Structure 1
Amino acid sequence: MKDSVVLERISKGDEKALDYLYRKYYKMMTNIILKNNGTEQEAKDIYQDALVVFWQKVISNQLVLTSKISTYLYSVCLNLWRKELERKSKLSNEEKDGVEYLDQESEERSYIIRNCIEQLGDTCKKILMYYYFDDMSMQEIADNLGLANTETAKTKKYKCKKRLDSLIKSKYSESDFLD
């Protein structure tokens, strides 16, 4: 089932579409938590919470989807899991170790990059999101954007990446990435 069909069905209150998403992405989403020191039960809970967030956003017409549903759910799961880890850390009064600092640093980098991508034009934004966050091939990108061929898509991606690099360098310093 295509993402657009799933969104339409969910917006009309079709819970079977939500069940479809649950089954389709269950393994992918729970593996995120399991690979980051979560238990099977925590993984299930986080994924269910992510689906509730998704459902509520769709029903209330607050969802602005600029990527695949799977990418959106992945981000929500990661954010919910990070919040849960922070909550656990506060409860146990344990200091964060180096690995968690790396995760936080990676999250900050991702935030900076996503923020700059949002400032690019619509075509560049779509190309970079499709390529880096949705793992689409150049052929899929060309097809989705109605470009002549994969070479055109590659050229546009290259130019967009250069614009993104320039934008990041103009707004942020190296220390923004190293703190």
Structure 2
Amino acid sequence: MKDEEILKRLKNGDESALQYLYKKHYRMMSRLVLKNSGTEEEARDIFQEALIVLWQKVRAGNFMLTSKLSTYLYSVCQNLWRKELERKRRLSSEEKDDIVEQNWEEKERIELVRRCLKQLGDTCQKVLTFYYFDRMNMKEIAEQLGFASADVAKSKKYKCMQELERIVRANFKKSDLI
């Protein structure tokens, strides 16, 4: 089918012309996307968008083809893929910024807790540090600190947490920790 005939069919609403274009030019258009960091699915989406652009322009009645139809479709795909890559790059950059900000906020919260921990007695500092930072269980903490049992370590941890909570509330607003 010649380009003029395809355009005439599109103008008349003949969707089989789109199917013809898809079968004839998909491989060439998909290579464009695949060679430029895209996937097969993205290539399909981009080419379908390009066909929609062509369909809409031809149906609007103001379309003038100044090159081969394949060249026009290729340039539309190129522009659509560039926009998609730019969108992905922007999103990736924003995600990285979010992760950096989250890590910074988490480090800041940990530092606030560490400052409050320093205000506790030596035994409470050790119990909470062993449990929360070193991930030791109650039996290991009891052995390390010479407590009679894991239950004694658990009771001590509870009392130390209450004291730590009191210190945190006295020194910081809720918004400092959120």
CA displacement, residues 74-117 of structure 1 (integer Å, 9 cap, x when unaligned): 000000000000000110118xxxxxxxxxxxxxxxxxxxxxxx
Q: Deviations over 1:119-143 (max 9, x none)?
A: xxxxxxxxxxxxxxxxxxxxxxxxx
How far the C-alpha of 1:62 sits from its partner, in A, is 2.5
Residue number in structure 2 paired with 1:42: 42
**Residues 44-123 of structure 1 correspond to what in structure 2 (within 5 A)?**
44-93=44-93
Which amino acid is 2:30 matched to? T
- 1:25 is matched with which residue? 25
Q: 1:61 Cα deviation (Å)?
A: 1.2
Corresponding letter in the other structure for 1:50:
A
The alignment's TM-score, normalised by the length of structure 2, stands at 0.52
SS of residue matched to 1:75: helix
State the number of aligned residues.
94
TM superposition shift of 1:49: 0.3
The alpha-carbon deviation at position 38 of structure 1 amounts to 0.4
1:15 match: 15
User: Equivalent residue of 1:32, what SS?
Assistant: helix
Q: List structure 1 runs of 4+ shifted beyond 2 angstroms.
A: none
5 Å-filtered alignment, 1:134-173, equals none
TM-score normalised by length of structure 1: 0.51
AA aligned to 2:54 is F
One-letter amino acid of the structure 2 residue matched with residue 84 of structure 1: E
Calculate percent identity across the aligned residue pairs. Answer: 64
Structure with the greater relative contact order (CA < 8 A, sep ≥ 6): 1 or 2? 1
In 2, Cα distance between equivalents of 1:24 and 1:71: 13
Paired amino acid for 2:66: T
Alignment partners' CA distance in 2, 1:39 and 1:17:
26
Give secondary structure in 1 for the equivalent of 2:62.
Answer: coil
Distance in structure 1 (CA, Å) of the matches to 2:58 and 2:67: 14
User: Once the 2 structures are TM-superposed, how far is the Cα of residue 63 of structure 1 from its aligned partner?
Assistant: 1.5
For structure 2, which runs of at least 5 residues remain unmatched after alignment? 95-178
Q: Deviation string for 1:153-178 (max 9, x for gaps)?
A: xxxxxxxxxxxxxxxxxxxxxxxxxx
- Aligned partner of 2:163 in structure 1 is none
> Residue 93 of structure 1 aligns to which amino acid in structure 2?
S
CA distance in 2, matches of 1:64, 1:40: 30
SS at match of 1:8: helix
AA in 1 matched with 2:60: S
How far 1:10 sits from its partner (Å)?
0.7
